[in-house]
Amino acid sequence: MSETEELLQTKVEFIILRQVQNELQKLATNQTTIGNHASRALEITRKCRLIDLGPTSGTSADEALIKASKELRAIVATADSRLRMRLRTLKLPVLSLRGNRLYCEPETPQYWPSML
C-alpha cells in the first residue's frame, strides 16, 4: 500500500467493494493456488474501507468496479488482464503489477487529477 502512495505521490484511501469481497470469499474456499491468493487478498483488504454500492445480485465484481471507478472517480487496482483491458477501453485509470513493479495507466497523474 505504501508503494501505491509513492507511485501516485499522494495519500490514498483504499476501499474494497462488497461484490469484490464476496467474490474473494468464494474463491478463498477452494484449496487451489487461486484460493490461496484470494485468502491473502482478503487479509490485505482488512486495511481497506468496505463500500456497498447497492444490491449485489446479478452484478459481477468487474461491473461493480467499473461502476465505482466512474461514480467515485476511483483508480481500480487489478491483476485481471481482461478487466484491465476493459478499463483502458473506457479510459478509466487502472493500477496493476508488472513483474514486481506497480504501474498506473495512464502513467502520468496529470491525466487523472480529479481521481485523487
Residue 35, Cβ density class (10 Å: 0-12 exposed, 13-18 middle, ≥19 buried) = middle
Residue 10, Cβ density class (10 Å: 0-12 exposed, 13-18 middle, ≥19 buried) = exposed
With 70 as the cut, is the pLDDT of residue 111 above it? no
pLDDT band at 76 (very low <50, low <70, confident <90, very high): very high
* pLDDT confidence of residue 116: 42
Q: How many CB atoms lie within 10 A of CB 19?
A: 24
Superfamily of domain 2-115, CATH level 4 = 5'-nuclease (3.40.50.1010)
Whether the model pTM is above 0.85:
no
* pLDDT confidence of residue 108: 53
Could you tell me if 83 and 64 are in contact, meaning their C-beta atoms sit under 8 angstroms apart? Answer: no
The whole-angstrom separation of Cα 8 and Cα 5 is 5
With 60 as the cut, is the pLDDT of residue 115 above it? no
